Structure 1
């Protein structure tokens, strides 16, 4: 009998090999896995519980549903969507009362000949990287590809420390821009790391990590990269971020480098806005990055919300201090209006925050595939 760990190890290896070569559903991957084991001369049997279904209850999201099944929801999030895409609203929301398939669950009923253990030892083990910044239960980043290998990304979430940014009220509690911008930034960082990128998280909160709460508690203990205290004065705060990014940029001269700044806007309560993007007016690469993410959002809206027009734009906004002063090609993202009820749903729902990070990362991948290396912008 092969120990469960060894079986999981082989399964993880196969998943990574398949993802590199094909685009297919999880069911097909399971079939391929069995096929490869057969090629190795390995016989196995699965219990009927290997693939199960569950009914979504009121209040369930993908993350909470997977967590109820004893899974790490971030490791199986993409698999779940692939298996249930035709049964999801806007590609990320469950319908109450509908039945959903759960990704393959390994159990003790898997029977494998003893030779598998010897063969498994010859296969290189695929391990994730540990990053404590993502918080308990989210520290491990499992590799998805090496598509961003060699690329460097600087991620700056808006405000932080003594400045919470835009404020609003929800269900009788205060919510702050910096907490939601930071959570989306962490999720984006994890996506980029999974594709082999080097990632610098410039504004950091070692205590928060990725959070699946709707209301994110406000604190003021964020620091800048290197453990630097964030100044209260706005100009000093912006200069600090510019200096950190530009110093790191010099360190990585000659590499593909991009900066992504994430904010949540504040406007009148009645103004519902889409996600939109800014870039430097003279930055060809910055414009391409903004446009690539913008195109990804257009594509997603067209596919998952065909009855709604996406009105988000990308445009130059060189008047913004970080856009004007930082050296890497960059985009400045406004997620929505924190005071608007519809936009609040976009940031309060953890599944929405995960989807935003995922869509931004897909735009980043699109940009990198045709990107250019330049010393500045």
Structure 2
């Protein structure tokens, strides 16, 4: 009898301990922070979506959790670990994410470090983008100086355009680089060495005459547009402005005055930049404008066109926007988010 009572007590204790432990294990597991490693060129938006989280829902929580680990304007550092916000994980979705093969594609134009592109999802499936980095070939565009180093518009516009192209491809878009340089790739230096070997799609020598240059890239876009008639298509031109040394400007946008959709797309991008400044630099204010302008490539290309000026190449604060590689990536990330909104608005 004594032995029997003892066994009952032991069994009760074991069951209680198992129940007690089982009751608290989920809370212990959920209490452990989930850390992920940032990939090269990745921003907060992409890191969250890559890990199955809604950027709009979890962006603020992520920034708050990692504010001691982030760079200027909440930039991520490649190879660094970041904490993901606590979420309720759907086991079925988690299993699907774990077992699904990672889709990648290689694009040598992005350079060796960035050539392998992970396809995150198909949000932009069916969208076609013609990306035109300003100037190139014999024309460096606007020229400024920083610490006695020459800054050429075509090099910085091209690097931001390449980063934008890579981001769009990650979301399933078809992208054509109209201005292209087979040697440069995406570069992480502050001072981008100028050269004159850029070509126009598919591999045309860029002429010295300005009108011929503009007509060449316009024809390249329009020939592709005809082949893709009926698809969702956008032409995005990226430039750096040149004004007086004392004039600080924000990223601003031009469209063709005849194009309602061009204005709408421009305002969608403007709104995205306003949202980003409100989040990352509250109180600073954002004054980027949207306006019509009779620019040759905007007026003569067939797709809906948006022409973007990144800043004043002669102003110290504006120069930080594009000489710092993390800032160039941020520009590409924000433009991508705006173009995602533009695509959603036109489905």
- TM-score, normalized by length of structure 1? 0.72
SS for the counterpart of 1:190 is helix
**Cα RMSD (Å):** 2.8
Tell me the residue number matched to 2:287.
311
Shift of the alpha carbon at 1:76?
A: 7.4
Shift of the alpha carbon at 1:90?
A: 5.8
- Bigger Cα Rg: 2
Residue 204 and residue 266 in structure 1: after superposition, are their counterparts in 2 closer, same or farther (change >3 A)?
Answer: same
Tell me the residue number matched to 1:74.
41
Distance in structure 1 (CA, Å) of the matches to 2:113 and 2:344? 31
* 1:261-276 matched pairs, under 5 angstroms: 261-276=237-252
Shift of the alpha carbon at 1:84?
A: 5.4
* 1:367 has 2:334 as partner: no
SS for the counterpart of 2:73 is coil
Distance in structure 2 (CA, Å) of the matches to 1:123 and 1:270? 55
Distance in structure 2 (CA, Å) of the matches to 1:144 and 1:154? 21
Distance in structure 2 (CA, Å) of the matches to 1:312 and 1:163? 26
Tell me the residue number matched to 2:74.
92
* 1:236 has 2:212 as partner: yes
Distance in structure 1 (CA, Å) of the matches to 2:295 and 2:282? 33
Shift of the alpha carbon at 1:279?
A: 0.5
Tell me the residue number matched to 1:14.
none
| Count, aligned residues | 291
Match of 1:343 among 318, 323, 332: 318
The CA deviation string for residues 219-263 of structure 1, in whole angstroms up to 9 with x for no partner, is 111001111000111000000011000000000000000010000
CA contact (8 A) 2:239 2:310 kept: yes
Residue 124 and residue 72 in structure 1: after superposition, are their counterparts in 2 closer, same or farther (change >3 A)?
Answer: closer
Distance in structure 1 (CA, Å) of the matches to 2:115 and 2:76? 26
SS for the counterpart of 2:125 is coil
CA contact (8 A) 2:74 2:280 kept: no
SS for the counterpart of 1:73 is coil
Tell me the residue number matched to 2:231.
255
Match of 1:321 among 289, 292, 296: 296
CA contact (8 A) 1:273 1:336 kept: yes
CA contact (8 A) 1:157 1:178 kept: yes
Unaligned runs of 5+ in 2: 1-25, 49-54, 84-94
SS for the counterpart of 1:356 is helix
Match of 1:136 among 84, 92, 112: 112
Distance in structure 2 (CA, Å) of the matches to 1:134 and 1:350? 14
* 1:189 has 2:165 as partner: yes
SS for the counterpart of 1:297 is helix
Distance in structure 2 (CA, Å) of the matches to 1:128 and 1:299? 31
Distance in structure 2 (CA, Å) of the matches to 1:323 and 1:247? 15
